[in-house]
Amino acid sequence: MASVAWAVLRVLLLLPTQTWSPVGAGNPRDCDAPLASALPRSSFSSSSELSSSHGPGFSRLNRRDGAGGWTPLVSNKYQWLQIDLGERMEVTAVATQGGYGSSDWVTSYLLMFSDGGRNWKQYRREESIWGFPGNTNADSVVHYRLQPPFEARFLRFLPLAWNPRGRIGMRIEVYGCAYKSEVVYFDGQSALLYRLDKNSLKSIRDIISLKFKAMQSNGILLHREGQHGNHITLELIKGKLVFFLNSDNAELPSTTAPVTLTLGSLLDDQHWHSVRIELLDTQVNFTVDQHTHHFQAKGESSYLDLNFEISFGGIPTPGRAWEFTHKSFHGCLENLYYNGVDIIELAKKHKPQILMMGNVSFSCPQSQTVPVTFLSSRSYLALPGNSGEDTVSITFQFRTWNRAGHLLFGKLRRDSGSFVLFLKDGKLKLSLFQLGQSPRNVTAGAGLNDGQWHSVSLSAKWSHVSVVVDDDTAFQPLVAVLIDSGDTYYFGALYERSCEAHKHRGNPSGLYYIDADGSGPLGPFLVYCNMTDAAWTVVRHGGPDAVTVRGTLSGRPRSAASFAYAGIPLSWWVGRTNETHTYWGGSLPDAQKCTCGLEGSCIESQYYCSCDAGRNEW
């Protein structure tokens, strides 16, 4: 009987473009209390420990208990130290120290944070994708102030480099304070309606601030309408926030189109983002995370005539309380303030100003699917296959702005070849490589590099292989192979630069893909690596053009690299001193795109940077 080997995951190939500023958060001046030292040992966990006295519970700053700090079993880049703060806190600084009286310290590390301990976000340090500066000896403490702070319950320290004459060794502290959080959850069929007090003086300036965490890429965040078609609407559309403002009198011939302003992208990443809207007649300041845009509607009237009702999460149809004219929001709102009024608190207390429509609840559920972001062209995910099964079925979702990149790699039964699922020119391709045969390809879908989620399903049964993208494109050629991973499926980039690198990984002789120049212009190619030889040999597989190369292929550094692999989440450029920058000419640090991308003025608007559209300009 055939059983099914399957794997389901969502693959996030691009990071969110911004970190947020703490709108309405506590005053950073008095938000410096040590948070980790008071926690019990059980709040600390880690990837591994060298011995029971090197456990994560011994990683509190300036303590000397146990062996004097946390040290993992093996010192490599796959280790982490995690702290559970017990609840979401505002975190303003971190500090690190090596293991007490040892030669074990970490010289550079990454910091990740998470609400629930599953969906992690990397804290981006200024303009750099590199790690945080760590220690240079075992005992001095290195502080790092987080600008901006973040809110999280879980933190992870990931050592990147350590004393070459010692091991990974860490003691840490986290500084911050309590974070006040009122949340409301909309299931995509619910909304809150807030009735403003008609008798109170109309405030001159309206200020709306909130944070949102979106589970889906489309939905109404807020809406207020008035006489003559005047309205303001904030809507999430394909992961971007769009602010609509119409101040024209609909009964007169319209002289201008309604004003719309779009900010952000990939905001549906299930992480918190902040929004602040300041409205003075038709003048608007619109801030998403840290990016503010100022604009003014140039309609007939500079006066916005709005009703005394504002809805959040959806636009209720008048008269029919549970129907919505637009797609409603699915996700959570937090700390929602309208001119200083805490809307969520009013809703919780069932105040008469608030009408709840549909199923509204006051806690934010953790998502069941967790996206995985590939941070470098070397990042990949290896999942166990099911050796010897007749049927293989793999489904996952991905998103990327890259036109080319690798999604999945696996071997054919009994090492008779391999298959690669990859993007090329925005299309999904499956290539089957078999010994002694030219590669066979299947293509499906188009325009898949639009930054939206796409679902992929690959199945192989007997000699049929099918690839389905977004449920509407399928190809089912007959191929005389069985896809049987034998041991492992690799998601994301999976290319060593050379056979030598494969050898270092302990791989035996066989067919391998190598990518000689990393994210350069050369694609990866299939080679035979003969591991028996001390100086390895590369034999290009597949016919008369077989070549034998001796020595090491070396990649030439490029001064500017655009997206080349699906495995690279960012576009970046390499500076004169080989430092990596995630922003481009004129753009804000950490925006991970060019100025034109932020302002939507790129030559081809779907790309972040003009150079991504194949142009020479940024």
Interface region with ligand NAG, contact rule CB under 6 A, candidates 102-110, 132-140, 277-285, 583-591: 277-285
Tokens read off for 519: 């994210």
- Binding range to ligand NAG, per CB under 6 A, among 8-16, 51-59, 273-281, 368-376: 273-281
For residue 299, give both structure tokens.
Answer: 């309609």
Q: Which is nearer to ligand NAG, 143 or 205 (CB)?
A: 205
Which listed range, 26-34, 241-249, 280-288, 340-348, lies at the site for ligand NAG (CB under 6 A)? Answer: 280-288
Site string (541-560) toward ligand NAG, x via CB under 6 A: ----------------x---
CB of 458 to ligand NAG, least distance (A): 16
d(CA 8, CA 152): 27
Single residue of 278, 300, 309, 390 touching ligand NAG by CB under 6 A: 278
The residue range among 6-14, 21-29, 306-314, 530-538 that interacts with ligand NAG, by the rule CB under 6 A, is 530-538
Q: Does 577 bind ligand NAG (CB under 6 A)?
A: yes
Residue 117 gets the label, from left (phi > 0), alpha (psi -120 to 50) or beta, of left
Residue 414: left if φ>0, alpha if ψ -120 to 50, beta else—which one?
left
Q: Which is nearer to ligand NAG, 50 or 297 (CB)?
A: 297
Structure tokens that stand for 126 in this block: 């200024």
Work out whether 361 is an interface residue with ligand NAG (CB under 6 A). yes
Stretch that binds ligand NAG, among 51-59, 171-179, 225-233, 437-445 (CB under 6 A): 437-445
Question: Given candidates 530, 553, 558, 589, which one binds ligand NAG under the rule CB under 6 A?
Answer: 530
Report the site for ligand NAG in 224-243 (rule: CB under 6 A). Answer: none
- The pair phi, psi for residue 56, each rounded to 5°, is -65, -25
**β-bridge mates for residue 41, sequence order:** none
- Considering only residues 77, 143, 145, 294, which one is a binding residue for ligand NAG as defined by CB under 6 A? 294
Q: Which residues pair with 433 in a beta bridge?
A: 418
| 4-12 vs 371-373, strand pairing mode | parallel
Question: Which residue from 205, 351, 464, 615 is in contact with ligand NAG, where contact means CB under 6 A?
Answer: 205
Determine the Cα–Cα distance for residues 77 and 162; give it in Å rounded to an integer: 10
Tokens of 390: 């007749």
Cβ-proximal residues to 497 (8 Å cutoff; 6+ apart), any chain: 514, 515, 516, 517, 518, 553, 555
From 309-317, 381-389, 399-407, 435-443, span contacting ligand NAG (CB under 6 A): 435-443
Answer left, alpha or beta for residue 178, where phi above 0 means left and psi between -120 and 50 means alpha.
Answer: beta
Tokens of residue 398, six digits: 């991905």
**Does position 258 bind ligand NAG by CB under 6 A?**
no
Provide, rounded to whole angstroms, the least separation between the CB of residue 190 and ligand NAG: 9
Which residue of 431, 452, 488, 507 would you call a contact of ligand NAG, by CB under 6 A?
431
Dihedral pair phi/psi, residue 86, rounded to 5°: 90, -35
Per rule CB under 6 A, is residue 43 in the interface with ligand NAG?
no
Task: By CB under 6 A, name the one of 285, 353, 367, 580 that touches ligand NAG.
Answer: 285
Nearest Cα to Cα of residue 24 among 266, 237, 274: 274
- Residues 221, 222, 224: CA angle, nearest 5 degrees: 160
The alpha-carbon radius of gyration of the chain (Å, integer) is: 27
* 283 near ligand NAG (CB under 6 A): yes
Interface mask toward ligand NAG for 185-204; x: CB under 6 A = --x-----------------
Alpha helices per DSSP H over 337-466: 343-348
Please provide the distance, in angstroms rounded to a whole number, between the alpha carbons at the two ends of the chain.
Answer: 57
Among residues 52 and 441, whose Cβ is nearest to ligand NAG?
Answer: 441
Residue 360 CB, nearest distance to ligand NAG (Å)? 8
Interface residues with ligand NAG (CB under 6 A) are: 187, 205, 278-280, 283, 285, 294, 359, 361, 431, 438-441, 530, 532-533, 557, 577-578
